[in-house]
Structures are given as C-alpha cells and as structure tokens.
Amino acid sequence: MYEQLLSRIQQCSTIGVTSHFRPDGDAIGSTLGLGLALQSLGKKVYMWNEDGVPARYSFLEGAEQILPLPEEVPADLEMLICVDTGDWKRLGDRSQLLFAEFPLIVNIDHHGTNTRYGHMQVIEPETAACAFVLFNMLKSWGVNFTKPMAEALYVGINTDTGSFQYGSTTPEVMHAAGELLAAGVDVADVNRRVYQEIPYTALLMQREVLNHMVVECGGALSHYSMPAGRKAELGVGLEDTKDLVDVVRVLQGVRVAVIFEDLDDGRIRVSLRSKDPAVSVAAIASQFGGGGHAMASGIRMRGELADCRERVLNAIRKELQA
C-alpha cells in the first residue's frame, strides 16, 4: 500500500494534511512530519488543524505551518491526507463540512476502531503511533529524515507510547526512535518541552482532579467528572484539561481510569484508560459510539453529565466484575 500511495502522490502537485480536533502529540507530529516530507518531495503542502497547535508542541520547527482551517477548499488542492484520525467525525465539525465532497481523501492511521473512511487507506491497527506508521512508510519511499522531520515523528511516537512506557513499545519502535535520534533529535530538549514545562493553570486542574476523584470497585476504577462551567470558575483553558486521565490512571491498584468532561454544549467528552490487558476500553467505548485503542479510547456523548457518567461506569463495572 505504501507504493500505491506514493504513486498517487507523485501524480499530485498540491496536498493537504490534517488530523483530529484537540490534537495530541501524535496528531501534530504526524501532520508536521508528513507535511515536511511531502515538501521534500517537491510538493506544495497545506497543513491544517481545526483546533490549532497546542502550546507544548509549538517548539517544533515548522509547526507554524499548521494553520486554522481555510474558509474554502483551496482551488489547487488535489489530495487530502488525514492522519491519526480513526473516524471522519474526529476531524471536527468544520472539517467534515469543508471536505465532505472532496474527491481524494487518504486515511493513514493506527487505531483498531478505524472506520475506514476515505478513498485510500493505510491502516496498521494497534501499532504504537501514527507517526510510527509514517516513519516506516517514508523510509520505504527513500525519504531522508531532516532534523525537523525527525523531531516531529519522534514527538508523535514518544507521546503515544507514554514516553515508551506502554505495551505498544516494541523493539521495532525503539529502533525507529534510535534512527530518529541519529537524524538529530535532541531527546533532553524534547522531553523538557513536552513533559517538564507544565503551565500553572494545568497544575491547578490536576489539583482539582486529585481533590474530587472517585475510587470504587475495590480500587480498580478511578474517575473524575468536570461539570459545565467548572473550567471558567478555575480560570483554566481547554489545553489545561489535556491528559487529565493520567492523573487518575497512575493510582496504585487502578485497572480502569475515566475522565468525564461537560463541554458546555450538550456534549460530554469521556477519556478512558485501561491498565489491564483483560479490559479493553475500546470495546467499552464502542458501546457508546466511541473508539480508539484497547488501552486508551474516547467517547463523545450527548446528554446530561450524570446520566452519561452512570451509563459508562455501569459498562465498566460490568467488565471489571466479569
């Protein structure tokens, strides 16, 4: 499939690359890494994200090229590549409308629950990161990794493996990381910027979670719920709520961790993590229209916070008691 995609790319002059809303390190790293690689192949490249680049990833060279969505699809755009996006809906409301009729959409992803949207797909389920898929693909194309390209892909792989802590960290993943380091990645600098420069408001949010988290099922289930308006009361922003599920996940004895967040627009965002291979949060998420990985998944639900929370928690309790 790598060669088929390269053949189609060679027929295009202008290509767009985008990823899911509320982008994480893999979304940004994959967008930027692929975008820079396509530029090295002589292509004109548009890079977009509906929510922009989170501050913690803005240090990446070339990140300023990832722009907000345009008002209209550029007349010269010939191919749109969606990376790290398991479902068309995850691109965001505006993106779905903007590109609804676009004739050539490529879906490159690593989520086991990918819905296989688009006209071409390169999907490698349950691999470490979309950036790892791209590393292998670009390497097969003979792309020479520049330092900016390597840093972007490294950030994608590093963040989606929990800094190489998760079970998806295979020998092949570590070998890829080593090759990216050899291309110029400054590991100490990347880790400092991504993990060791947390805004004060994000720490306030973590304190809020620790003060109000709930632990049940004999310590196997931990969760926190953020009601509507709470972010405004605390003076925190959208980016400060990123990765909060890790705060409740690391508690000793926890098998499943969940964050429920009222988005103030009638929707509830649910982030799920499993530490037990016997409990797939992807299977739980799929019951409510969500998806992701066995150990990390998400849901967007419509309804009241309390009702959505109980429905999801009941499904988790059932799995934990099985």
DSSP string, 68-133: PPPSS--TT--EEEEES-SSGGGG-HHHHHHTTT-S-EEEEE--TT----SSEEEE-TT-S-HHHH
Fold: same for 2-195 and 201-321: no
Whether 119 has a pLDDT exceeding 80, the answer reads yes
Here the tokens at position 253 are: 């004895």
- The whole-number pLDDT of residue 59 equals 98
Whether 188 has a pLDDT exceeding 90, the answer reads yes
Q: For the chain, what percentages of helix, strand and coil (3-state, to nearest 5) are there?
A: 45, 20, 40
- The whole-number pLDDT of residue 8 equals 98
Amino acid at 304: E
Nearest to 81 by CA among 54, 42, 46, 36: 46
Q: Does domain 2-195 have CATH number 3.40.50.1980?
A: no
Mean pLDDT (the chain, rounded): 96
- The whole-number pLDDT of residue 224 equals 98
Q: Which residue do the tokens 């291309």 mark?
A: 183
Whether 12 has a pLDDT exceeding 90, the answer reads yes
pTM, rounded to two decimals: 0.91
- Domain map of the chain by residue range? 2-195, 201-321
Whether 322 has a pLDDT exceeding 80, the answer reads no
In order of 43, 149, 322, the CA distances from 37 in angstroms are: 9, 7, 47
Contact 189, 63 (CB under 8 A): no
Q: Which residue do the tokens 């910027």 mark?
A: 193
Here the tokens at position 215 are: 């632990």
CA–CA distance, 271 with 300 (Å, rounded to integer): 9
CA–CA distance, 167 with 19 (Å, rounded to integer): 24
- The whole-number pLDDT of residue 242 equals 84
- The whole-number pLDDT of residue 265 equals 85
What average pLDDT does the segment 50-76 reach? 96
State the helix-helix crossing angle for 130-140 and 171-182, rounded to 10 degrees. 60
Q: What is the pLDDT of residues 213-240, one digit of tens each?
A: 999 999 999 999 999 999 999 999 888 8
User: Which neighbouring-strand residues pair with 17?
Assistant: 47, 81
What average pLDDT does the segment 34-51 reach? 98
Q: What is the pLDDT of residues 252-262, one digit of tens each?
A: 999 999 999 99
Confidence of residue 307 (pLDDT cuts 50, 70, 90): very high
Here the tokens at position 7 are: 């053949």
Tell me whether residue 155 is exposed, middle or buried, using C-beta atoms within 10 angstroms of its C-beta: 0 to 12, 13 to 18, 19 or more.
buried
Contact 24, 76 (CB under 8 A): no
% pLDDT > 70, the chain = 100
CA–CA distance, 322 with 318 (Å, rounded to integer): 6
- The whole-number pLDDT of residue 62 equals 98
Tell me, rounded to whole angstroms, the distance of Cα 312 from its chain centroid.
21
For residues 2-18, one letter each, b for 16 or more C-beta atoms within 10 angstroms of the residue's C-beta and e for the rest, the string is eeebeeebeeeeebbbb
User: Which neighbouring-strand residues pair with 107?
Assistant: 82, 121
Strands, E, within 201-309: which ranges? 214-216, 221-226, 256-262, 267-274, 291-292, 296-302
Whether 212 has a pLDDT exceeding 90, the answer reads yes
Q: H-helix or E-strand containing 157?
A: helix 147-160
Contact 204, 240 (CB under 8 A): yes
Tell me, rounded to whole angstroms, the distance of Cα 12 from its chain centroid.
27
CA–CA distance, 109 with 202 (Å, rounded to integer): 29
Nearest to 148 by CA among 56, 236, 62: 62
- What class does CATH assign to 201-321? alpha beta
Question: The dihedral of CA 156, 86, 241, 274: what is its sign?
Answer: negative
